[in-house]
Structure formats: structure tokens, C-alpha cells
Chain A
Amino acid sequence: MIEFKDFVFYALSFVLVASGLSVITSRNPVTAALSLVLAFFNAAGIWLLLQAEFLAIVLVLVYVGAVMVLFLFVVMMLDINLDKLREGFWDYLPMAGFIGLLMMVEMVLVFKTKEFNLSPVDDSLKSISNTEVIGNTLYSTYVLPFELASVVLLIAIVSAIALTLRDRKDSKKINSSDQINIKRQDRVRLVAMKSEEKYVKSKTKDRK
């Protein structure tokens, strides 16, 4: 007799595997990206079953809410020729299948080691908020690796910007700060002068 929890687990894993397959087989890149979103969601659901609520919510927040939005943003703007994408699927299949198999074997070997032989979640941990526990460990025991990771990310941000920051010489870009800081005096000039009636009259005379 399976429990309700097992049923939920199998439902989530089934959708996860199906959407994962759809990521690599769907013709349209937008559908593929959306399938990946669905896969992330189901992975988050499985983590929730393990009571790892912090990880689950952060997975949705970071990957679904930010990374995949930018992904979609780029993929949607591509001008895609669907027939071209389909070409060579069967040619590449043996090679891809071999690499996939190799990765699977490696994963199995890794998961069979002692370090991965995880025991079920300790009941004493369930009462503590796991956000707090992760925070405490991250900022005390693992503070140096954590800071190192953040520096690596910072370098990645700076280099990504440096690589793409190219100003076109004929760019008609507007400088918003200049626009906002503009004063009335810069645009409008009030000039005291007499009416130009005489000038207008003389001009009409000339024409005659």
C-alpha cells in the first residue's frame, strides 16, 4: 500500500522526467525553455516533500523567477527556422546517447559512494526553520568559501558587462541625468523687445 506522500512523489517525478524529456526533444526553443521551467517547479515540489522549504523556494525564486525569464527573453527574440533545428537529430543521436550513458554511469558511481549514503532527515531538525539553519552554517562554518563564491560571481558580472559594453559612435542615446537636471533657463529665454510691426510693413513694401 503506497502512502499519499509516495503518490505525490511519483506524480512530481513523472512530470519532472517528462518535462525534462520535452526540453531536449521539443522543436520550438520557447517550448523547451517553458518545459525547463516546469521541470524546476517539480524539482522544487520534491524538495518540499523532503521539508527543504528554503531550497525549494529559492529554486523557484532564482531559476524560475529570474534566470529563465532572461532565457525566455533571449529565446523569444530569435528568428527561428523550425525545420533547420530538426535537421541531424538522428545523426547526433548515437553520440549524444553515448555521452548520456557515460554521464549516467558516472553519476551512479558517485551516488554509490559512502558520502552520498544519506540517512533520512533527522526528526529533531524538522522543528527548526531550515532557512535559519542554512544561514547560520553558511555565515559561520563556511563563511570563507561563501565569500569566495560571491567574489567569483562579482568577477563574472563585471566581465560580462565589460564584454558587452560597446557604445556605437552614431548612437542617439539620451542622457537621462542631463534631461532630469535641466532648468527652465536652459531651454527658455525671455527677451524684451519691441513689436516688429515696422519690419513687417517694410517687408511687404519690398515685395511690391
Chain B
Amino acid sequence: MEALMTFIFGSWGSDIAKTLWILLKIIAVVLPLMLSVAYLTYFERKVIGYMQVRIGPNRVGYHGLLQPIADALKLLFKEIILPTASNKILFFLAPVLAIAPAFAAWAVIPFDLNLVIADIDASLLYIIAMTSIAVYGVIIAGWASNSKYAFLGSLRSAAQIVSYEIAMGFTLVGVLMCANSLNLGKIVIGQVGGFWHWYVWPLFPLFIIYFISAVAETNRAPFDVAEGESEIVAGFHVEYSGMAFAIFFLAEYANMILVSMLAALMFLGGWLSPIPFIPDSFLWLLIKVAFLLFCFLWFRATFPRYRYDQIMRLGWKIFIPITILWIVFIGGMMQTSWGYLFH
């Protein structure tokens, strides 16, 4: 391929060939991701349905399996309404800004040993950076809509995401202290040798805090005050319809899969099998991610929505102090003869 490109484009050939090859890899990640987002919505409706003693979607296709496709088609053909008083450019930019970081973060996710698009040294930092800019979509959507409900939703969301990001960042500090690396692949390899070597055990409080903060970061119930139906209709995306709304929806679910993937990689040993003599495989990662995603849906079906001031209290007064204390504790323990337990 490189030779062909060199023949067509001259000295730029090899660079263009490289770019095309990376583009192909990106498609190989994004397409299955989109498909899993679609079927995550189906899974969610079925799981919550059964938890509430209902059947869930069962009309379109066998057991309702074609429901996500039908929903996608419906949203594609719906009109996108542009509010008269809105800022037109930013109104359409907002959904793009919501979904771009949600997909961009997947560039450094390792799916198996050396199966990763970009194996960079500071991949964990890159992920934090990408998830931290996801908030722009929400903020801009709320402001550009020029609607009270949307604006209130986006303000709530901005404050919430900024506060929970700190706790989330601190939990990751714990992980990188154990792994001695910022590279996700190396973090997983650091947990090799059975489930008792996974970082979830020495970092148990951090794992819990990471997962709860992840629920808050993705604006999912019980932390979904940014779109609290009972107070502000639909929050930041109240003015969006059709495909523009669908993109926010996609971004939310893609983010859910992303944070579950991260939790599985950092705390649950990624693609490593729980018992050493069973071979490691991508399937293990899939099972772990699916379980964590199930927890997301489980929370949504079980817990009532948090009140806004309680969310802030939980983030600032409970999670951040606990994470700092645990980091100091790990740092101290690593200096003692018990240090091997934390590596």
C-alpha cells in the first residue's frame, strides 16, 4: 500500500498511506462501537423492563431485536427544529463537540495485548483530557438553545462534571501509583496473575469512587440532574430534535461504554482472565465491560434522583477527602514491607 501511495503522491506517499491505515483502524473501532451503543439502548430497555416487571420492546423483529434500528431510522427522518432565537452555528456545533471526545478517547484503549490504535506513553492522561472536554457539548448546547431549561441544565452539568472530575482524577492517581505507568496497556499487564492481583483489591475505595464518579460524569441516573425531567423538562437538550438529539444520546451511551471499559482495564484486569490457567482473551474484557454496563442500568432502575446540593456534598466533602487519604495511605504502605500488596 505504501509503495502504491508513493507512486501516486510522490514523497508524501508514505505519510498518506500511514494516515489511511490509521483511518481504517479508526473505522474498525468506531463501527462496532456505534453498533454496541445501539444495542446498549435495547439492553437498557429490556433490563429496566424486567426489573419493573414489564416486557420491554418486543414488537419490531424477533423479541424486539430490531427496535434500535427502527429508532435510529425514526430519528433520522425527523425534522431538526432550529429555535429562532438560538445561536445557529453553536447550536449545531454542540452535538459534534459532545460526540467527538467520546469517540476520540477510544484511540488509546487497548483491546488486547498490543491491539490498540495509538500506543502512547501518557494514554491515561490523554483519556482524562478527552473526558474533561466532553462537557463543552453540554454547556454550548444549553447556551446556544437560548432557553431557560436548557441553560439551567447546562449550568448544573458544568458544575457537576467539574467537581466529579477531581475525584475521578485522584482515583486514577492511585492506579498509576500501583502500576508505575501512565500507559493503559502497561497498567493491565501490571495486574497479571489471577484475579487476586487486580488493582480492585488494594484500591477498593478508589474503585467504588471511580465508578460512582463515572456515573456522575456521564450524566446518568441517579446523577442526571442536567436532564431532570421533573424540574427542567429535558435539560440541556430540550430544544434538540431528530438526529441532533440522537447524537447527544449516542454520546451519552458511548461515554458509558468508555468509562466501563476504563474501569475494567484499570481495576479489573482488562483482557486478563481471572484464573491464570484459563487463556487471556478479548472476551474477558467484553464480559467485564458488559457487567459494569449492567450496573449502570441497574442503578438507573433502582435509585431515585439525587438532589443537587447532595450531589455537590458527595463530590466535594466525601469523595475528594477519601481519595486523598487513600493515596497517602498507599504511598505510605509502599514504603513498608507490605508494599508488594500494592503493585
Contact = CB atoms under 8 A, between A and B. Distances in A.
Interface stretch (B40-48, B132-140, B227-235): B132-140
A2 to B, nearest CB: 9
A132 B121 CA distance: 9
A53 B121 contact: yes
A129 interface: yes
A192 to B, nearest CB: 33
Contacts of A76: 139, 143, 151, 154-155
A101 interface: no
Interface residues of B, number: 31
A176 interface: yes
B92 interface: no
A131 B121 contact: yes
B15 A54 contact: no
A70 interface: yes
Contact of A61 (B90, B125, B162, B313): B125
B112 to A, nearest CB: 22
A63 B122 CA distance: 18
Q: Is the contact region of chain A dominated by helix, strand, or loop, or is it mixed?
A: helix
A15 interface: no
A64 interface: yes
A58 B125 contact: yes
B104 to A, nearest CB: 11
Contacts of B129: 57-58, 60-61, 64-65
B310 interface: yes
A129 B122 contact: yes
24 contacts: A1-B11, A4-B12, A4-B16, A30-B90, A30-B143, A34-B90, A37-B136, A53-B120, A53-B121, A54-B122, A57-B122, A58-B125, A60-B132, A64-B132, A65-B135, A66-B165, A70-B162, A73-B139, A73-B158, A76-B154, A130-B121, A131-B121, A131-B122, A176-B313
Interface of A: 1, 3-4, 30-31, 34, 37, 53-54, 57-58, 60-61, 64-66, 69-70, 72-73, 76-77, 129-132, 174, 176-177, 180
Nearest 5 pairs of A and B residues by beta carbon = A65-B132, A129-B121, A4-B15, A61-B129, A60-B129
